[in-house]
Structure formats: structure tokens, C-alpha cells
């Protein structure tokens, strides 16, 4: 019964994405624990209402509402990332976990699904970027090889590639580090909201999406994107503390060394896109440099200013994660 239900969910999701707007299936996700018959009746009723409403749209509206395959992939991946993150966080909240025990029992699973779904979107974008390179024109010889190498270096220093490495390192950690979900959930939320806004926003203000204030929320998030990205950079640095403590406790320095090297590469990242969204200001490297500068001035300095040795140590640590290397990637 449960298996047939999920098959039904998958088929219905596919139909919604490729024939309607792909947004309504979020409601069906929350109906996962309804009996199959009740869900079938409910979804059939909603489908009838929705399709009747859809027939009144103009051809332009229908083209706007339709998703292409690439958009659908990012929409599904970011949706799963956001929902899995919420489930993992809810599993740690006593009140929620006692009310819904399955959340507590599946924290590890939700935690890993969030990373894997984000990885799928990152790898998908890297894949079609590389496909463009292989299909691109241009003459052969050294010039094209140098251009290819330059493009490959750009891909390997992109947010997508680096966050894929980040996800693979932390998804298989010995225990879930919930704050590690922040750097992938924040851009996933922005990507998801961007797709939904593009589909449902109406300039005349007649759509339900605009009437309930979602357009204003989207505008607010866009204005505060630099704050969100600064917090993401800060969380990536805070995770280093957890990784170091875990390494000392378990006497395993391999993961700590890998994370340190990964974190050092972040200040070199000049990419200002993640998934398919573009930062409103600056790039990833800028946010990491500013985060280390802020930590050194506001957190380390008050504690180490009276002890010159500690002050030099804190300056050395901050410099190690913000000073460009002599060689590129």
C-alpha cells in the first residue's frame, strides 16, 4: 500500500510539472500519510478545480506557467532539500519529535537526503555546463585547449563544485551536523522562491500569489540576499570548530584536514552564482574574507588583545583563510 502510494505521488508530480505549474504537488507531499483512497479522492477533486481554472488562462499565461525540463530539475531538487532540512531540524526539537516520532527516527536519513538532492542539482548544472564546452565551436590547437582548461578551472572553482565537495564530506559524517545544512538550504530556498515567483507573480496583482504577499516576501529576500550569503559563509567557518572538536575526540585528522583545505579554497571562489541564481552583490570569496575579518575583529580581538602571542595566533589563523595562494587550482 505504501509503495503504491509513492508511485502514485511520483506519477502525479510528473504530470503536474510537465502539464501544469509544478507547484501544486507540494500540497500532495504533505498528504503523504493519508490513506491512498482518501488521497486519491482529494487529489482528484483538487485536480478538477485546478484544471478548470487553468483553461481560463491565456496562451501567454500557459507558456509562463509551464516549466522546461531544466527548471523542473532544479525545482524538484531544491524542494526536496528544503523539506528534508525542515524534517531534520524538526527531529531535534523535543515537542515536534514527540508528536511525530518518525522525524526523530529518520534524522540521519533526512539529513543525507538534503545533501544528496542539493548535490544532484549541482552536478546537473556542472554536467550541462561541460556539455556546452564539448559542443562549442571554435578552432583547434593551443587556443582552444587553453580556453578549455580555463573553463574547466572555472567549473572546479565554482560554487556548485565546491558545495558538492562540502555535501559529500558532511553527508557521511559520523553524526548529523545540523548547522551544515544552512549553506545549502539558503541558496536552495532562494532558487525555489525564484522559480515560484517567476511562475505565479503577476504585475496586475490579481494572482493569489501576489494577493497573499508572497511577491513582497520575495522582494525582501532579494534585498537581504547579501546578509543570507554572509551568514552562510559564517556557518561554513563555524562548522570548522565542530569538525576540529570531533577530530580531536575521535583522533581522526583526515576529515579535519580535508575540511580545512576545502575552507581555504572558498576565499578564492569568484563565483557569484549558485544553482541558477545570481548574487545581488559581490561573490563567495568576498563573503568569506569579510566573515573572517569580522570574526577576528569582533570575536578574537577582545579576547586576545591583551595577550600579544594569542593576538598573533588569531591574526595568523584569519590570514591563512583569506590570503591568496601562490598557485591556482
Report which of 30, 53, 23 is spatially closest to residue 193, judged by C-alpha positions.
23
State the cell numbers at 106. Answer: 529518520
Rounded to whole angstroms, the Cα distance separating 247 from 229 reads: 27
The model's pTM is 0.74
pLDDT at 65: 54
Burial class (CB in 10 A: 0-12, 13-18, 19+), 288: buried
Interior angle at CA 298, CA 293 and CA 300, nearest 5:
85
Is the distance from CB of 328 to CB of 155 less than 8 angstroms?
no
The count of residues in the chain is 329
How do the domains of the chain map onto residue ranges? 1-55, 67-134+144-320
SS3 223: helix
Q: Tens of pLDDT along 211-269?
A: 888 888 999 999 999 999 999 999 999 999 998 888 888 877 888 888 988 988 888 88
pLDDT at 145: 73
DSSP of 71-128, one letter per residue? Answer: HHHHHHHHHHHHHHHHHHHHHHSHHHHHHSHHHHHTHHHHHHHHHHHHHHHHHHHHHH
According to DSSP H, which parts of the chain are helical?
Answer: 2-19, 25-30, 36-54, 59-65, 69-92, 94-99, 101-105, 107-135, 142-156, 159-171, 182-200, 208-211, 214-223, 225-250, 254-266, 284-295, 301-304, 308-320
Report which of 64, 22, 50, 60 is spatially closest to residue 198, judged by C-alpha positions.
64
pLDDT at 315: 72
Interior angle at CA 185, CA 180 and CA 187, nearest 5:
120
Mean pLDDT by 10 residues, the chain (329 residues): 44 45 45 48 53 48 63 92 91 81 82 93 88 60 65 84 92 86 94 90 77 87 91 92 87 85 87 88 88 80 70 72 56
Amino acid at each position: 500500500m505504501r509503495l503504491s502510494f509513492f508511485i502514485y505521488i511520483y506519477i502525479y508530480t510528473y504530470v503536474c510539472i510537465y502539464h501544469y505549474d509544478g507547484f501544486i504537488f507540494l500540497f500532495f507531499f504533505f498528504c503523504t500519510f493519508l490513506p491512498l483512497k482518501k488521497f486519491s479522492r482529494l487529489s482528484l477533486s483538487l485536480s478538477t478545480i485546478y484544471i478548470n481554472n487553468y483553461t481560463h488562462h491565456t496562451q501567454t499565461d500557459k507558456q509562463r506557467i509551464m516549466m522546461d525540463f531544466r527548471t523542473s530539475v532544479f525545482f524538484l531538487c531544491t524542494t526536496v532539500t528544503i523539506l528534508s532540512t525542515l524534517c531534520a531540524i524538526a527531529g531535534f526539537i523535543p515537542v515536534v519529535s514527540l508528536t511525530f516520532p518518525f522525524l526523530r527516527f529518520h534524522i540521519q536519513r533526512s539529513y543525507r537526503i538534503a545533501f544528496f538532492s542539493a548535490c544532484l542539482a549541482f552536478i546537473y548544472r556542472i554536467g550541462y555546463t561541460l556539455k556546452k564546452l564539448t559542443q562549442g565551436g571554435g578552432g583547434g590547437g593551443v587556443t582552444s585547449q587553453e580556453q578549455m582548461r580555463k573553463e574547466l578551472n572555472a567549473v572546479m572553482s565554482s560554487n556548485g563544485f565546491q558545495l558538492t565537495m562540502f555535501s559529500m564530506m558532511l553527508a557521511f559524517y559520523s553524526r548529523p551536523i545540523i548547522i551544515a545544512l544552512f549553506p545549502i538550504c539558503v541558496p536552495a530556498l532562494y532558487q525555489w522562491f525564484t522559480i515560484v515567483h517567476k511562475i505565479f507573480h503577476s504585475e496586475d496583482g490579481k494572482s493569489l500569489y501576489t494577493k497573499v504577499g508572497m511577491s513582497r516576501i520575495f522582494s525582501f529576500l532579494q534585498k537581504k540576499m547579501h546578509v543570507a550569503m554572509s551568514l552562510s559563509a559564517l556557518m561554513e567557518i563555524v562548522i570548522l570548530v565542530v569538525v576540529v572538536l570531533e577530530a580531536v575526540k575521535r583522533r581522526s585528522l583526515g576529515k579535519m584536514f580535508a575540511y580545512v583545505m576545502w575552507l581555504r579554497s572558498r576565499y578564492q571562489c569568484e563565483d557569484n552564482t549558485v544553482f541558477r541564481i545570481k548574487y545581488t552583490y559581490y561573490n563567495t570569496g568576498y563573503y568569506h574574507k569579510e566573515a573572517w575579518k569580522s570574526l577576528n575583529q569582533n570575536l578574537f580581538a577582545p579576547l586576545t588583545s591583551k595577550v600579544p602571542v594569542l593576538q598573533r595566533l588569531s591574526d595568523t589563523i584569519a590570514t591563512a583563510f583569506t590570503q591568496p595562494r601562490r598557485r591556482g587550482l
